[in-house]
Amino acid sequence: MDDRLSALIEKFRAAGSADPESWAASEINEDIAQFARFFFLWELWKLVVPKGSREWLRHLELPNDDGCGGVRRRLKKSSATVDDLTELVRAAQSEVV
């Protein structure tokens, strides 16, 4: 194994990759900036709402599109729970990442 590959494997390992060998080999063999890609996705993944979290709701600004409370009012009237909404948000965020 060449020094460049070894160093890159260690870089991926230190960054938390579950498969540093594969990422490093791809970067070298396919000339793809996989470490930049991995790091970007890793950072995005940390922003996904944690399971069971309700903190994200405190910062959410929903449109008052009907002058009577809008989306927030309609959601409160529905049978959707905060946990339902959290799972929906998590699924959407995961799909984007």
Two tokens, residue 85 = 């909404």
Contact 4, 10 (CB under 8 A): no
pLDDT number for residue 75: 85
The domain total for the chain is 2
Domain check: are 83 and 63 in the same one?
yes
Contact 63, 70 (CB under 8 A): yes
Which range (8-12, 40-44, 46-50, 59-63) has the least confidence? 59-63
pLDDT, greater one: 63 or 80: 80
Residue 35 lies inside a defined structural domain of this protein: yes
Residue 50 lies inside a defined structural domain of this protein: no
What is the pLDDT of the chain when averaged over all its residues?
Answer: 90
2 vs 6, 7, 8, 87, CA distance in Å? 6, 9, 10, 45
- Long-range contact pairs involving 78-82 (C-beta distance under 8 Å, separation at least 24): 82/54, 82/57
Residue 17 lies inside a defined structural domain of this protein: yes
Domain check: are 66 and 87 in the same one?
yes
* CA distance linking residue 97 with residue 92, whole number of Å: 9
Range of the domain at 14: 3-45
Asked whether the predicted pLDDT for residue 36 surpasses 70, the reply is yes
Asked whether the predicted pLDDT for residue 13 surpasses 90, the reply is yes
pLDDT number for residue 1: 64
pLDDT number for residue 63: 77
